[in-house]
Structure 1
Amino acid sequence: MRTLCSSTLIGEALLIMFAALVAMRLTDVSSGEIWTVSGIAMALCIALCGMINRPGAVQIGWVLQVGLIASGFILPTMFGLGVVFAGLWWCSVHYGRKVDEFKAARTAATEAAAVHA
């Protein structure tokens, strides 16, 4: 799960950076406000990559997704991109857990076979 979720979060951090650059030109919000909020969101994305296996990290990721969608009120394109990244986040969590379960089952089967051999 860690690899899939981290990849999504890195992509999201890049999206936030590029959206901030666009928002500076297309909105009346000050550059300082845009970069403060965007900087915090990007830092949270990067920090969450290292904490993804800890309790509550997936829920924080969902809060990030909601924030990304809500950024559509500043830059309307972000409504669509936020939904896309929320879908990617769901896929990363869902299929990442399945991969982790498969790996654990395979490791257990390998260890059981080694004990009986």
Structure 2
Amino acid sequence: MRTLCSSTLLGEFFVIGFAGLVAMKDPHLSTAAVWTVSGVAMALCVLLCGMVTRPAGVALGWALQIALIASGAVLPTMYFLGAVFAGLWGASVHFGRKVDAAKARHAARAAEAGSAPADAA
């Protein structure tokens, strides 16, 4: 799960950075406000890469997805990009858990086969 979710979060990191560049062109937004919000969101993406294996990490990831969609109120394109990344996040969590379960089953079978006594026929 860590690899899939981290990949999604790193993609979001770059999208948030580029969105910050686009948002700077809005005359109603101050540069400081744009980069404070963008910087916090980008830092959260990087921090979540290390937390995705914990239950709180997945929940915070969903909160980030909601915030990304909500940022469409400032930059309308983010409604679409936020929805795309929310879908990618959901798929990353779902399939990542399946991969982790398959790896655990494989490791259990390998350990069982390695510790089973050899037949002395």
TM bucket, shorter chain: over 0.9
- CA displacement at 1:51 relative to structure 2: 1.3
| Correspondence 1:94-109 to 2 at 5 A | 94-109=94-109
Query: In the alignment, which residue of structure 1 is the partner of 2:6?
Result: 6
Query: In the alignment, which residue of structure 2 is the partner of 1:77?
Result: 77
| Correspondence 1:3-82 to 2 at 5 A | 3-26=3-26, 28-82=28-82
Measure the CA separation in 2 of the matches of 1:65 and 1:74. 15
User: If each structure's helix is expressed as a fraction of its own residues, which one has the higher value?
Assistant: 1
State the SS of the aligned residue for 1:22.
helix
Kept after mapping to 2: 8 A contact 1:23/1:34: yes
Identity %: 60
User: Which residue identity is paired with 1:54?
Assistant: R
Task: Pick the structure with greater CA Rg.
Answer: 2
The runs of 5 or more residues in structure 1 that have no matched partner are: none
Measure the CA separation in 2 of the matches of 1:93 and 1:99. 10
The runs of 5 or more residues in structure 2 that have no matched partner are: none
Kept after mapping to 2: 8 A contact 1:12/1:85: yes
Measure the CA separation in 2 of the matches of 1:6 and 1:31. 28
- CA displacement at 1:34 relative to structure 2: 0.5
User: What's the C-alpha RMSD, in Å, of the aligned pairs?
Assistant: 0.9
Kept after mapping to 2: 8 A contact 1:5/1:92: yes
Normalising by structure 1, we get a TM-score of 0.97
Measure the CA separation in 2 of the matches of 1:101 and 1:69. 30
Normalising by structure 2, we get a TM-score of 0.94
State the SS of the aligned residue for 2:29.
coil
- CA displacement at 1:55 relative to structure 2: 2.7
